[in-house]
Amino acid sequence: MGPYVLRRLLDAVPVLLLASLLIFAGMRLAPGDPAEMLAGPDPSPETIAAIRDALGLERSIPIQFLLWLRALVAGDLGLSVVNGLPVTELVTDRIGPTLELAAAGMALTLLLGGLLGTIAGLRPGSVTDRVVSALASLGLSTPAFWTGILLILGFGLNLGWFPVAGRTALADDPLEGLRSLALPAITHAIASAPLVARFLRDGIAEAQRAEHVRMALAKGLPMGRIVRGYVLRNALIPVVTVAGVILGNLIGGSALVEIVFSWPGLGTLLVSAIGNRDYGVVQGVMLVVVAGFLLSSLVVDLLYGLLDPRIRHGRSR
């Protein structure tokens, strides 16, 4: 297992390198000039030129990329062109809230999606199955920001159960931190749980038709043991795949959900940086997003081996 993990980490290096090149080029080719935004209204050409020179934007794009890449290898993401703060510091301050929200959203997604998918999968074609399918379709078709707004109106403003915006650190006040985390995490779960429920439902329904499951039923084994040992284990492999994609999205930060709830995570930082043409911050956040997807992919591959002993180190035997 150790050599496989090391190999996957080494394989991630060229992926991150290519991603950094695409991100860098994409920001430089995008319309807008950070020097003009920093110069204020009606700036003179000399002022804009001086700012561009100070930011190093007068150099050719390949030279800018090589200088940025050299700093990146040394662990330096550069400085924000807006406030001059280190990008590493800005990303570090925001990644904690994003990971906190991602963990809570993922936990609720697996809990809700697992429950609905299991109930529907054990009774395919039943009224329960159709109700769960209808709820899943509703969840998938409703935009996450709209779900968040409805939760704010219902449980925040009308009932007053949860704060409608902002974040309280769990370390400062655990109870208030959980209250501030509840609505954005539930919003993520409502948007993502239908995918888990659908994959799990189909996996359970298919697993129940397998020959070894019918044999276990014929032998009179308890239904609970059959579901746990024969049905769920086989049905979880496709669920792990879709859960990995969801986890990557959550680590990357869901900008719409964070904006709706004024959550100080990577998503809000990215949107603000794009609006300000803050090249360094955008590049830093996007690299974290790519790294999050690579990490979730590695976790998925490792879980495959735990769920199915025939799968080892990313290949079947």
Query: Digits of tens for pLDDT over the chain (317 positions)?
Result: 667 677 777 777 888 888 888 888 877 777 766 777 676 677 777 777 787 777 677 777 788 888 888 888 877 787 887 777 888 888 888 888 888 888 898 899 989 988 888 888 878 878 888 888 888 888 888 888 888 899 999 888 888 888 888 888 888 888 988 998 999 999 988 888 888 888 888 888 777 776 666 676 666 666 666 676 666 767 777 787 788 778 777 776 577 888 888 888 888 888 888 877 788 888 888 888 888 788 877 777 777 666 665 555 544 44
Per-residue pLDDT, 277: 79
User: Radius of gyration of the chain from Cα atoms?
Assistant: 24
Q: Which of 151, 184, 180, 150 is nearest to 166 (CA)?
A: 180
Residue entry with tokens 């299991």: 118
CB atoms within 10 A of CB 294: 18
Contact predicate 267/94, CB 8 Å: no
Q: Which two tokens stand for residue 275?
A: 């609006």
What angle separates helix 279-307 from helix 87-122, to the nearest 10 degrees?
A: 40
How far, rounded to the nearest angstrom, does the alpha carbon of residue 118 sit from its chain's CA centroid?
24
Per-residue pLDDT, 74: 79
Per-residue pLDDT, 314: 45
Plot region of 169 (φ>0 → left; ψ -120 to 50 → alpha; else → beta): beta
The CATH 1.10.3720.10 domain(s) of the chain lie at 87-274+285-316
Per-residue pLDDT, 108: 92
Per-residue pLDDT, 42: 73
Residue entry with tokens 């090589």: 66
Q: What would the CATH number be for the domain defined by 87-274+285-316?
A: 1.10.3720.10
d(CA 10, CA 28): 28
Residues in Cβ contact with 103 at an 8 Å cutoff, skipping those fewer than 6 apart: none
